[in-house]
């Protein structure tokens, strides 16, 4: 499991130390550094093939993240030792192993080369970050579309849903009958353990009666997703293409599939699983993400939703996930940069403290309404 990431001079942070649990929730104001943490991890994975090569380093633009060039990622007020050339450094800790990668700064380069190779300490090959079962779903995910890509290599062989979830439809088409193995992930109303049935059952938490179908479009490299609506006993609707059924269903599909297919040792980085969902659906999605953690995956979830937070608290209170597995980080800007506060969650779902600004808007609004 990934236990800690230390960051020096990367994007929003001059320095930062972020600890991870089996389930880590990143919250805080906009532009407070949450995605920067996920991008640092994604950057390491994206660069993995070159990190150990001579001349290799951080590949700033790739399938997971497109960060630009050196000047985009070097923290504006960077720290450096004795006015030396600035370094951008990321350190991972997994159990008692840790490893740092420090790259030199080049203003216009999109490959920043590793410095001091000889000082590399222990390998951290075991981390889920570099293994199979990794998913990173960005906030700018797939929107409803007429067709989606069909890549056997990415979706089937690598089992990667795409950083925008763009390979999810093809993945679901291929693996729709594969059983969801861990029963903690099973939805009680699902017709079977099969991935498609389980996906539908969880999607019905968001939209009751929804059914999914995936098809290859003959003669093309594309696949199609369609939705049908109808509850038991009532005749089903026609099939509708995603562009005609609103945003939420398509947008959340990769999150549902990522959680249902998570295995022990998987690492899921999820940005805003709540996006475009109504409040009850947001809580349901949080419960599903917690089920994936209980099933043995590690999750780092960025959210703005108090319903997601409450879904996590309920999962803990209802004994679906252990309180020790949950780490809550609240990012906020201060005069000294970004500070990260970490209230602890008790087994009763209650928090040790509520920092100002941490999901307190309900209370603040109520105070004004009742004034």
Ligand X SMILES: Nc1ncnc2c1ncn2[C@@H]1O[C@H](COP(=O)(O)OP(=O)(O)OP(=O)(O)O)[C@@H](O)[C@H]1O
Q: Is residue 75 near ligand X by the rule CB under 6 A?
A: yes
Q: Is residue 36 near Mg ion by the rule CB under 5 A?
A: no
Q: How far is the CB of 60 from Mg ion (least distance, A)?
A: 18
Q: Is residue 108 near ligand X by the rule CB under 6 A?
A: no
Report the residue number, 286 or 340, with the smaller CB distance to ligand X.
340
Pairing of the two strands 222-229 and 148-149: antiparallel
Q: Is residue 12 near ligand X by the rule CB under 6 A?
A: yes
Report the residue number, 30 or 235, with the smaller CB distance to ligand X.
30
Q: Is residue 27 near Mg ion by the rule CB under 5 A?
A: no
Report the residue number, 180 or 312, with the smaller CB distance to ligand X.
312
Task: Identify what 75 binds: Mg ion, ligand X, none; CB under 5 to 8 Å per kind.
Answer: ligand X
Q: Is residue 76 near ligand X by the rule CB under 6 A?
A: yes
Q: How far is the CB of 278 from ligand X (least distance, A)?
A: 20
Q: Is residue 173 near ligand X by the rule CB under 6 A?
A: no
Q: Contacting Mg ion (CB under 5 A), which of 24, 27, 35, 135?
A: 35
Q: How far is the CB of 151 from Mg ion (least distance, A)?
A: 27
Task: Identify what 132 binds: Mg ion, ligand X, none; CB under 5 to 8 Å per kind.
Answer: none
How many residues touch ligand X under the rule CB under 6 A: the total is 16
Q: Is residue 141 near ligand X by the rule CB under 6 A?
A: no
Q: Is residue 11 near ligand X by the rule CB under 6 A?
A: yes
Report the residue number, 167 or 329, with the smaller CB distance to ligand X.
329
Give the footprint of Mg ion on this chain (CB under 5 A): 34-35
Give the footprint of ligand X on this chain (CB under 6 A): 11-12, 28, 30-36, 72-76, 331
């Amino acid at each position: 499991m990934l236990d800690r990431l230390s960051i020096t001079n990367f994007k929003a942070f001059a320095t930062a130390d972020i600890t991870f649990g089996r389930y880590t929730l990143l919250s805080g104001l906009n532009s407070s550094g949450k995605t920067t943490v996920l991008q640092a991890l994604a950057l390491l994975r994206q660069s993995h093939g070159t990190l150990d090569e001579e001349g290799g380093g951080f590949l700033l633009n790739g399938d997971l993240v497109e960060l630009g060039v050196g000047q985009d990622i070097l923290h504006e007020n960077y720290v450096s030792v004795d006015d030396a050339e600035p370094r951008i450094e990321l350190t991972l800790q997994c159990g008692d192993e840790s490893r740092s990668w420090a790259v030199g700064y080049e203003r216009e380069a999109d490959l920043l080369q590793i410095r001091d190779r000889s000082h590399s300490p222990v390998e951290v090959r075991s981390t889920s970050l570099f293994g199979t079962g990794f998913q990173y779903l960005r906030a700018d995910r797939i929107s409803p579309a007429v067709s989606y890509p069909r890549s056997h290599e990415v979706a089937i062989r690598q089992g990667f849903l795409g950083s925008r979830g763009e390979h999810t439809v093809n993945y679901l088409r291929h693996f729709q009958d594969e059983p969801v193995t861990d029963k903690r992930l099973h939805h009680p109303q699902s017709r079977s353990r099969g991935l498609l049935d389980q996906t539908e059952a969880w999607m019905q938490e968001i939209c009751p009666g929804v059914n999914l179908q995936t098809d290859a479009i003959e003669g093309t490299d594309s696949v199609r997703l369609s939705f049908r609506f109808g509850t038991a006993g009532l005749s089903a609707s026609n099939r509708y293409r995603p562009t005609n059924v609103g945003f939420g269903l398509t947008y959340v599909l990769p999150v549902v599939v990522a959680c249902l297919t998570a295995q022990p040792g998987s690492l899921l980085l999820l940005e805003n699983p709540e996006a475009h969902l109504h409040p009850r659906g947001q809580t349901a999605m949080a419960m599903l993400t917690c089920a994936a953690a209980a099933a043995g995956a590690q999750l780092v979830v960025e959210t703005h939703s108090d319903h997601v937070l409450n879904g996590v608290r309920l999962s803990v209170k209802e004994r679906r996930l252990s309180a020790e597995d949950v780490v809550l980080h609240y990012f906020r800007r201060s005069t000294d940069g970004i500070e990260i506060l970490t209230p602890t969650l008790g087994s009763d779902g209650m928090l040790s403290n509520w920092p100002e600004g941490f999901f307190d808007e309900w209370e603040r609004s109520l105070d004004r309404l009742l004034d």
